[in-house]
Amino acid sequence: MMLDVVVLVAAAAVDVTSFITASDASSQAFKTATLLKTLSVNALITGEPGVGKKSLAQYILSDAPIIDASSHDELQATLQSTQEIIITNLENSPNIIKIAEIINLNSIRVVATSKTTFINETIDELFSLKFDIPPLSQRPEDVELLINKFIQEASLLFGTKEEFSFDNFIPDLSQNAASLKRQVMVHYLLQDIQDFELMEIIENFVKPKLGSNSDYRKFLYLYEVPLIRAGLDKFKSQLQLADKLGLNRNTLRKKIADKILR
C-alpha cells in the first residue's frame, strides 16, 4: 500500500529542494546537480513543466536570485548586480544573445531552466553542461513518493488525519508534479467534504455564469452527471440504478446518452 512508504519520503527527498530521487533518472539528475555545486560552470536544465528543474537549480545555487527570462528588463538589471543567477524559462527570452553577452562580460555564474531543448550556437557556448529531467510518466518510483509527500502536505494544510482513499484515483501526470499535487489536494479535500461545503462550491461556480433563461437545464448536469456515474459504478446495472433513482429505464438510458457519454 502506498501509505506504507510515507517514511521513505523524507529519506528520498532533498531537504532544500524536495526533489524526489527514487528513480534512476531523478537520482542521476541529482548527482549531476550535486557535482555542479562544486564546479564554477554554467548549466542548463531542460524538461517539461513540473519535473523539478527549478528545485535542482535552487539546490545548485541556493543563494542566487531567480528571474524569469521573459522579464527582460528585470533580468538585465539583476545581471548588473550579481555574480550568480538562476534564469527560469529561458526559451521565453526575447533576446538570448544580449543576455549571453552580459553574462560573459561580467563572468556571471548562471543555472538556467527551459521547457525545450535548444539548437543554438549562443546557448552551446554559454552552457558548459546541459542535462534533461524526464517526465514523471517515465519515473513511476518518484510518482509514488510524491503522492505520499503531497498527502502529508494535505493533512497539515487541512488539519485532519484522514487516511487517503485511492479508490478511483489515477495519477494526473499531465503537468507532472504540478498537476499531481493539485489532484491529491482536491481528492483529499473531497473525500471528507460536507454537503453544505459541496453546495457552496457549486454555488460559487454557477453564480458568475447565470444570466440566460435556460440556466436551470444548462446546469442540471452538475447534479445529474455525478449522481448517475456514481450509481453506475456502485450498482453496475442500468436496471438497478433506474429502480434506486425511481426513474423509468428509458429515461435513465436517455440521460446517460445525453449527459454521460457526450
171/17 Cα distance (integer angstroms): 22
pTM of this prediction?
0.75
> What is the pLDDT at residue 13?
33
The Cα-based distances of 220 to 86, 198, 230, 247 in angstroms read 49, 15, 16, 16
28-73 pLDDT per residue, tens: 999 999 999 999 999 999 999 999 999 999 999 999 999 999 999 9
Q: Which CATH number fits domain 8-137: 3.40.50.2300, 3.30.70.3150, 3.10.20.90, 3.40.50.300?
A: 3.40.50.300
Instruction: Give yes or no for a contact between 65 and 78, defined as CB atoms under 8 angstroms apart.
Output: yes
Which amino acid is located at 121 in the chain? E
SS3 141: helix
Q: Residues of the chain whose pLDDT is less than 50?
A: 1-17, 262
**DSSP secondary structure, 1-40, as one string:** -GGGGHHHHHHHB-TTT--B--SHHHHHHHHHHHHHHTS-
Q: What is the model's pLDDT at position 260?
A: 59
Say how far apart CA 123 and CA 116 lie, in whole Å: 12
Residues of the chain within CATH 1.10.10 domain(s) are 195-262
CATH 3.40.50.300 domain position(s) in the chain: 8-137
User: What is the CATH number that goes with domain 195-262?
Assistant: 1.10.10
> For residue 50, how many C-alpha atoms fall within 13 Å in the half-sphere facing its CB?
18
177-190 vs 140-158: helix crossing angle, rounded to 10: 40
With contact defined as beta carbons under 8 Å apart, do 53 and 133 qualify?
A: yes
Residues 197 and 167 sit within 8 Å (Cβ to Cβ) = no
The stretches of the chain forming alpha helices (DSSP H) are 6-12, 24-37, 53-60, 72-79, 96-105, 121-126, 140-158, 177-190, 195-206, 215-219, 221-235, 238-245, 249-255
CA distance 52 to 66: 15
Largest Cα–Cα separation, the chain: 78
User: How is 213-241 classified by DSSP, letter by letter?
Assistant: TTHHHHHTHHHHHHHHHHHHHHH--HHHH
Helix axes 24-37, 53-60, angle to 10 degrees: 30
